Chains A and B, each alone.
Chain A
Amino acid sequence: MTLRPSAPTQHAITVLGHDRPGIIAETTERLADLGLNLEDSTMTLLRGHFAMMLVCSGEAPSAAIEAALAPLADDGALTVTVRSVAPDDPDPVRGAPHVLTVHGGDRPGIVSSVAAEVARVGGNITDLTTRLAGDLYLLVAELDLPAGVDATALGAEIDRVATDLGVGATLRPVETDEL
């Protein structure tokens, strides 16, 4: 039992496809018209493709959101998905934040090999960017490491795996400027 009023449903929405000006404006306007609040969102260009993910909250059912966003996909250049998701844990246990960089020649399996090492110690990847720039493959990840994980040992193990793939790795704690 909880005394909190029933939390509004959260919806996870993705918009993917050919980039053009105005996608964000149209998407968010249609969501606002349904009385939905934007909570977290992220958008980037992946090899020039528009990629947006967002979580919004409100009373509108998924079917109504899908209908409202359908015109975005009319010309076939964008794909939209909508699904309801369980509300997030308000107080997740966070580990010690670290940043991992891996770079080198493009080789299959870099991300999976490195991610496996992080998972092996119970670390959680909370943000990830990879880029292929010419011949250079780059991975930058933020990790939460559980208490008791030896970050130096993990860094050495990741570097060993990376070296086997012909790339290099550096793991370091996140620095936060308290202002």
Chain B
Amino acid sequence: MSDDRVHAWSEDELGVTGEVRDVVRAPAAVLSTAAAEVDPTAPDVVRLAADLVATMRVSPGCVGLAAPQVGVGSRVFCVDVSGHPRTRTGHGTFVLCNAEVVEATRREKAREGCMSVPDLTGDVRRAARLTVRGRLPGTGEEVTVVTDAFEARALQHEIDHCAGLLFLDRVADARAVHPRRTYL
């Protein structure tokens, strides 16, 4: 049932208007430092959640953003893979606090980018079937998200951010990092 709860969630529940924050780029130390567990009901965490969603919304192509990417060492991230062509299961917009992977299977390789590493992309193997547990900001309810494909990849990427890991720490081999092409 908690899957439905996540699906029904929206940032309106937070009751605050998020502000767009600057996204920090590697090699910022905050991106390589494991973030701290948070109290999901704390007002500053609620505000952070709203800011993450607001920043994701104004960033073209952004399907997820973790607190370390706005310079905050807290285990909070938002995701929204709606409308992405590689999405199968999707839960719309949601924010998770203190999220952890419960089960991960069927690893598949795909190319990833990251707003904090704007000049590079990399081929990364990640589970395509995923179960994640975390808490919703505001109410602090524990929820479990069962998903697959692109949403599973996005969740693992953001959980990695909260652990101080970038996709660069997961690339498959020495030829798996690519300069991002700018098409004129």
Contact = CB atoms under 8 A, between A and B. Distances in A.
B119 interface: yes
B13 to A, nearest CB: 36
Grouping DSSP codes into helix (H, G, I), strand (E, B) and loop, the A interface class, with mixed when no group exceeds half, is strand
Contacts of B26: 103-104, 136
A164 to B, nearest CB: 15
Interface of B: 25-27, 32, 107, 109, 117-120, 125, 164-166, 168-177, 179
Given A129-B177, A131-B179, A133-B179, A101 B171 contact: yes
B177 A136 contact: no
A136 B27 contact: yes
Interface residues of A, number: 24
A146 B25 CA distance: 37
19 contacts: A99-B171, A99-B172, A101-B169, A101-B171, A127-B174, A129-B174, A133-B120, A135-B27, A136-B119, A138-B177, A140-B177, A141-B174, A142-B173, A167-B27, A168-B32, A168-B169, A170-B165, A174-B172, A177-B107
A152 to B, nearest CB: 16
A137 B168 CA distance: 11
A174 B175 CA distance: 13
Given A104-B26, A170-B165, A170-B169, 20 more contacts: A101-B168, A101-B169, A101-B170, A103-B166, A104-B27, A105-B27, A127-B174, A129-B174, A129-B175, A129-B177, A131-B120, A131-B177, A131-B179, A133-B179, A136-B27, A136-B117, A136-B119, A138-B177, A140-B174, A168-B164
A134 B119 contact: yes
Given A127-B174, A128-B174, A133 B117 contact: yes
Contacts of B169: 101, 103, 168, 170
Interface in A96-143: 99, 101, 103-105, 127-129, 131, 133-138, 140-142
Interface of A: 99, 101, 103-105, 127-129, 131, 133-138, 140-142, 167-168, 170, 174-175, 177
A101 B171 CA distance: 8
A137 B120 CA distance: 11
Nearest to B108: A177
B123 to A, nearest CB: 11
Contact of B174 (A99, A105, A175): A99
